[in-house]
Amino acid sequence: MTIGSLPPRYRISIDPVRCMECERCIENCSYGVFRRDGDRILVNSRNCTACHRCIACCPRDAISLEEHPCDYRSHPLWTREAREAIYNQARTGKIILAGMGNALDYPVIFDRLVLDACQVTNPSLDPLREPIELRTHIGKKPTRLDLRRREGGDVELQTPLTPNLQVETPIMVGHMSYGAISLNAQVAMARAVTKAGTFMGTGEGGLHSALYPYQDHMIVQVASGRFGVNIDYLERGAAIEIKVGQGAKPGIGGHLPGEKVCADISRTRMIPPGSDAISPAPHHDIYSIEDLAQLVRALKEATEWKKPVFVKIAAVHNAAAIAAGIARSPADAVVIDGFRGGTGAAPRVFRDHVGIPIEAAVASVDKKLREQGIRNEISVIASGGIRGSADVAKAIALGADAVYIGTAALVAMGCRVCGNCYRGLCPWGIATQRPDLVQRLNPDAASEQVANLIHAWTLELAELLGAAGINSIESLRGNRDRLRGYMLDESLMQVLDVRQVGA
């Protein structure tokens, strides 16, 4: 034995006094932790992923879960993760893949920013009494308006306007493909965004026919693999998004393993069943910013200039310059995906080490666009690690027009952020295609929950705006005066363009 077995990550224990042997844990656990032996429920903790399905379904609260029941000798540098990655690679010699977002303990900038409120001199607004406008429009805004007065005295707009997306709340759901998540999960979110008057992304997996009823609220994605992309798909979407990069794995492509390409996914992606769906790292028709502008134009031309086109990039060091380049193309919005963005699977080294935080990326993009006088040419959508309405408000104050949420929407449907999406056994019916698991996710109930979440955050945003004496979300956009940095260093505050608390 050289390395031997590693200490278990989790320990599950059942309190025999509380347990009534109903076997719900056995039925619900897709990882095979539980089994029955006579009148006892036995556990194999090594199979546990901390998905909490058993805990959620146990009628007697008999199950307890402990993380790292037996740890290594603590060491600030040689963490458990560092040591276990070495054991893994020493055994396999391979690249480590991992799920969900960045798992390193970087400071969260959002948590070092505080919002403002009115006291005495400028009274706050009461959302009950005053209308607080949360509706916004995503897309290009004209530099100037040419208005002419007609005979009868009516004013007529002469400037041609580019199509915008009207969103009733600045919270949209980002791109999670059919394949990465189940159809029930997509349908649930599609219903929720339709109800909330907002939009969601298809991801790069095509548009399943079950989503056609919600297509006016879907943003169809065109990624480097061009899966599921044809003229019908482009025409169905309310907007089209070119995915250049993704915060969880900037600079590399994607790869849906053949095992996950079942008949239905094959039809939606338009690839043979069982074949690997490989998205190359770059789009092979985009090798420059001019080429990107050309694809934007090609998509607009295909849809007769009726649809807004978004471009999504990962937040990387020169995101601001790239965004300024995108703003000079006919693209209508740039999505900046921060390094905390989630994913079903990404090489761990990319997930944890490549890219920059969304807070800094959005602030620098907004600043660059304003400096160049082209902020009106493009909307900015922030994504990657938005956990609550406060993050939404802070992202907007740093310069975003709206945000995309991803993980938060999954959590609203039961996801416990266990990070095992890649195994395809999600016991919540979200990141799985196994029919018995998928049917656990009731699209009606789940859509209600996602809609509730968006509604609740929207209410909170209205309250936050009212308290700050602001009556429209557009007046919060880029409004650094309503933000202060708390325990942030000076250079970072310069990047964010915020002052420190007390100043």
Partner 1 sequence: MSTVAKRVVIDGKGVHYTPLNQQIRKAVKDGAEEIVISNVLGQRFIGDGLRGNATIHVYGVPGGDLAIFMSGPTIIVHGNAEHAPGNTMDAGKVVIHGNAGDAVAHSMRGGKVFVRGDIGYRGGIHMKQYEAQCPILVVGGSAQTFLGEYMAGGLLIVLGLNGPVRARDIGSGIHGGEIVIRGDVDAACLATGARKVPLADEDRRRIAPVIREFAGDFGLDPEPLVNAEYTRIIPASARPFVGKYTWE
Parallel, antiparallel or unpaired: strands 171-175 and 200-201: parallel
Query: What is residue 396's DSSP assignment?
Result: H
Q: Does 501 bind partner 1 (CB under 8 A)?
A: no
Q: Is 222 in the site for ligand SF4 (CB under 6 A)?
A: no
On the CB side of 53, CA atoms within 13 Å amount to 27
- Could you give the string, one character per residue 30-49, with x where binding to ligand SF4 holds by CB under 6 A and - elsewhere? -----------x--------
Binding mask 228-247 for partner 1 (x = CB under 8 A): -xxx--xx------------
Q: Using the rule CB under 6 A, is 173 a contact of ligand SF4?
A: no
Contacted entry of ligand SF4, partner 1, none for residue 124, CB cut-off 5 to 8 Å set by kind: none
- Separation of alpha carbons 294 and 330, rounded Å: 9
In the complex, least distance from residue 248 CB atom to ligand SF4, rounded to whole angstroms: 13
Beta strands in 287-338 (DSSP E): 309-314, 333-337
Least separation in angstroms between CB 69 and ligand SF4: 18
Nearest partner of 243 among 308, 343, 336, 178, judged by Cα = 336
Q: Are 348 and 361 in contact (CB under 8 A)?
A: no
Look up residue 311 and give its two tokens. 């471009």
Site for ligand SF4 in 93-122 (CB under 6 A): 100
Span interacting with partner 1, options 126-134, 226-234, 433-441, 483-491, rule CB under 8 A: 226-234
- If contact means CB under 5 to 8 A according to the sort of partner, which of partner 1, ligand SF4, none does residue 242 touch? none
Among 6, 108, 118, 298, binds partner 1 (CB under 8 A): 298
The number of residues that bind partner 1 (CB under 8 A) is 44
Strands 239-243 and 309-314: parallel
> Helix, strand, or coil here: 239?
strand
On the CB side of 107, CA atoms within 13 Å amount to 10
The reply to whether 60 sits near ligand SF4 by the rule CB under 6 A is yes
Subset of residues 415 to 434 that bind ligand SF4, contact rule: CB under 6 A: 415-421, 426, 428, 430-431
User: Cα(307)–Cα(132) distance, rounded to whole angstroms?
Assistant: 28
Cβ neighbours of residue 86 closer than 8 Å, sequence gap 6 or more: none
Binding-site member from 61, 146, 216, 301 for partner 1 (CB under 8 A)? 301
Least distance from C-beta 457 to ligand SF4, angstroms?
Answer: 20
Residue 25, binding choice from partner 1, ligand SF4, none, Cβ under 5 to 8 Å by partner class: ligand SF4
Of ligand SF4, partner 1, none, which one sits near residue 165, judging by CB under 5 to 8 A according to partner kind? Answer: none
What whole-number distance in Å separates Cα of residue 161 and Cα of residue 145? 9
Determine the Cα–Cα distance for residues 239 and 309; give it in Å rounded to an integer. 6
The interface partner of residue 430, options being ligand SF4, partner 1, none and the CB cut-off 5 to 8 Å by kind, is ligand SF4
Show the tokens assigned to 462. Answer: 């209205």
Cα angle vertex 96, ends 91, 99, to 5°? 135
- Residue 270 as a binder of partner 1 (CB under 8 A): the answer is yes
Q: Is 438 in the site for ligand SF4 (CB under 6 A)?
A: no
Each residue 82-101 as x (binds partner 1 by CB under 8 A) or -, in order, gives ---x--xx--x-xxxxxx--
Per the CB < 8 A criterion, the answer to whether 114 and 484 are in contact is: yes
Distance, CA of 183 to CA of 126 (rounded, Å)? 41
Q: Which position among 348, 477, 480, 484 is part of the footprint of partner 1 (CB under 8 A)?
A: 348
> What is the distance between the alpha carbons of residues 207 and 218, in angstroms, rounded to a whole number?
9
Instruction: Name the DSSP letter for residue 213.
Output: G
Q: Nearest approach, Cβ of 81 to partner 1 (angstroms)?
A: 9
What are the C-alpha distances in Å from 462 to residues 410, 472, 496? Answer: 24, 9, 24
Binding site for ligand SF4 (CB under 6 A): 14, 19-25, 41, 51, 58-60, 62-63, 100, 410, 415-421, 426, 428, 430-431
Binding site for partner 1 (CB under 8 A): 85, 88-89, 92, 94-99, 224-226, 229-231, 234-235, 255, 257-258, 266, 270-272, 275-276, 278, 280, 284-285, 294, 297-298, 301-305, 347-348, 419, 422-423
